[in-house]
Structure 1
Amino acid sequence: MTGTEAADTRDQVVVGGVDSHADTIHVAVVTDRGGHLADAQFPTNAAGYAAAIAFLQAHGTIAAVGVEGTSSYGSGFTHAARQADLAVVEVNRPDKAERRRIGKSDPIDAYAAARAVVSGRATSAPKDGAIVGIRALQTAARSAIKARTATLNQITHLLITAPDAIRAKYTALSGDKRVTTLARLRPASDPAHAPLLTALRALAKRVQNLTEEHTTLTRELDELVTILNPGLRAAYGVGPDTAAQLLITAGANPARLRTEASFAALCGAAPVPASSGKTNRHRLSRGGDRAANAALYRIALVRMARCRRTREFVARQTRAGRTKKEIIRLLKRAIAREVFRLLTTPVQVPEIADLRPARQKKNITLTAAANRFGVWPAVISNIERGLRRDDAFADAYRQWLTAA
């Protein structure tokens, strides 16, 4: 290559595309108009990432790099590219129609990733690194509760086929009481049924261990999501797991969320036009992140059960002739709008640590405070300890304590 050609290469603007796999990444380079320049394959290790970045830089000034799987197989390259001050864009896999038309291979996918950036089809920034820890804790917590449920089902099935004396004794118990009783069994005291009792005791102890594990993981998850977005965690009906899922969907990166409508579509909560001719209607979106959609659904159910404003809204919509399913769709859309604001705008969450000392200073019991507001004493206790967030109620409670 002559000096003039090298200078031309350095001056041209190029875009990279990366097709990521477990053991290799395939890197392609295109011009700023989408023309193919070169492609090569590199291993998924530090040396391979450095060589891939050098390969990209050798072809000109890099405007951006489109990467498939920035949160999975491409996470290592994404981290290395960001450290090299390269702009990384998250690219979705080509749709099935395009793959049927042009085929599939690593070079084809890498060039497609680069062209997606050039055309403007791919614009999202990769998810923030803080999401990695949240996803890990959520995965472990959900795994623990899934295993706990399976173990409880195994106990039930063993009791169904157990001898009459054992079945009658332990099926009369339910919930934690049954688990606690089974965990204290002494199989040696009943040699005839020792194998069955040993199995029941082992399963009951497994349930207890999994319950403790889930509680610990959920506590750590709650602390992490509260630090990352206290406003979202403080929203009515948003628990640790729900907040974690919404943060994972959004990537904890406000730059990824362009508009409130796009976030609703991402969560599958935006109505999709289904009009034709004289027909003008919308249908329910079945796309988007279904886990995020399920999170919005759980928030809607909590508010329908406990939130006064939501119950009033449900009553009005019911009188208007809407079904429960239609009302939940409306609620999910409204909740998506609220969550979008909380994800993109920092919110100051009021402290609640002053509530309990203020009540105790005036010698007011939990029962007296609960009677004043028409709620159970446990509600007041949970709000004072931060186990339940209801900022409007907390403000009213604080004003009453001040005036009492």
Structure 2
Amino acid sequence: MRTRFARLSGGELINALARTRPAPATDTPASATARALRRLARRHQILTDEITDIDTELRALTARAAPTMLATKGYGVITTATLLVTAGDNPDRIRTEASFAALCGAAPIPASSGKTNRHRLNRGGDRQANWALHQIALVRLSSDPRTKAYAARLTATGKNCKEILRCLKRAIAREAWHLLTHPQPAPRTDDLRRGRHERGLTLTQAAHHLNTHPARISELERGTRPDTTLTAAYRQWLNTQQPQTHTA
């Protein structure tokens, strides 16, 4: 059995195991093993389909409840949904951005002593919301130029990685509060593909200019993964391109 499926991995292996027709499990140990593997593979397929359905529903719900947040750099479906749950469960506790930061455990606690002026980690608040802020901070540190520049400035002042992350989470909590309490409509993207076609441009050309992948541009055009910053840069670039004229 190992030899038969040795060259397969991932989805191919799961599909191949699910299609097998082993003998009754009572015949030999090999038959029992094959039936167990087929059972596990089919369970994997069912759970994968269920996860896909749930992800689709959750994306639709978050897009309807907080479209601007979902389109902001670093906010994914799970992190947006987590922050929405935190805010929805505590509507009377988020009158200010400071109270929302405290609710998320992102407000550093003063721990000064004598001539030492410092703050320590806040271990209180909603830990799921704190996790969401942490994930957003990590995404931005890896891909957002403004966040990288901010982290570089903090590093120059002598702050370590943990202190920089705490500062970032506090800043993101402030931003998230504004996105939750003062929502704005997400930028439209349904005209981007038409604009690209009118100018005779390909997905590869757009992706190359915007320093991303063609699949990411396709997702943006279809509205499956909105991004306010990327949309603005894409639209600005399209406006600088001349439409093609067709002559007979």
Are residue 374 (structure 1) and residue 211 (structure 2) matched? yes
CA distance in 2, matches of 1:182, 1:230: 41
Match of 1:360 in 2: 197
Give the conservation status (yes or no) of the 8 Å contact 1:238–1:299: yes
CA distance in 1, matches of 2:219, 2:75: 15
Change (3 A) 1:390 1:202: same
- Cα deviation, 1:38-61, whole Å, max 9, x if unaligned, reads xxxxxxxxxxxxxxxxxxxxxxxx
Q: CA deviation at 1:169?
A: 5.2
Give the conservation status (yes or no) of the 8 Å contact 1:252–1:343: no
Q: Which of 195, 199, 221 is the aligned partner of 2:32? A: 195
- The percent identity for this pair of structures is 52
Q: Which of 174, 177, 191 is the aligned partner of 2:12? A: 177
**Aligned Cα root-mean-square deviation (Å):** 2.4
Q: CA deviation at 1:286?
A: 0.4
Give the conservation status (yes or no) of the 8 Å contact 1:182–1:200: yes
Map 1:4-403 to 2 at 5 A. 165-166=1-2, 170=5, 173-188=8-23, 192=28, 193-251=30-88, 255-403=92-240
Task: Specify the structure having the higher radius of gyration (Cα).
Answer: 1
- Cα deviation, 1:189-247, whole Å, max 9, x if unaligned, reads 99641211111111111112111111111211121122122222222121222111101
CA distance in 2, matches of 1:298, 1:234: 16
Q: CA deviation at 1:342?
A: 0.8
Q: Does the residue aligned with 1:238 lie in a helix, a strand or coil?
A: coil
Q: Which has the higher contact order (CA 8 A, sep 6+)?
A: 2
- Cα deviation, 1:157-177, whole Å, max 9, x if unaligned, reads xxxxxxxx52x5546644333
CA distance in 2, matches of 1:287, 1:298: 18
- Higher normalized strand content (fraction of residues): 1
Give the conservation status (yes or no) of the 8 Å contact 1:269–1:285: yes
Q: Does the residue aligned with 1:383 lie in a helix, a strand or coil?
A: helix
Q: Does the residue aligned with 1:188 lie in a helix, a strand or coil?
A: coil
Give the aligned length. 239
CA distance in 1, matches of 2:84, 2:219: 24
TM-score, with normalisation over the residues of structure 1?
Answer: 0.55
CA distance in 2, matches of 1:327, 1:171: 46
Change (3 A) 1:318 1:246: same
TM-score, with normalisation over the residues of structure 2?
Answer: 0.86
Change (3 A) 1:290 1:369: same
Q: CA deviation at 1:334?
A: 0.9
Q: CA deviation at 1:309?
A: 1.6
Q: Does the residue aligned with 2:226 lie in a helix, a strand or coil?
A: coil
Letter in 1 for 2:13: R
Change (3 A) 1:307 1:278: closer
Match of 1:59 in 2: none
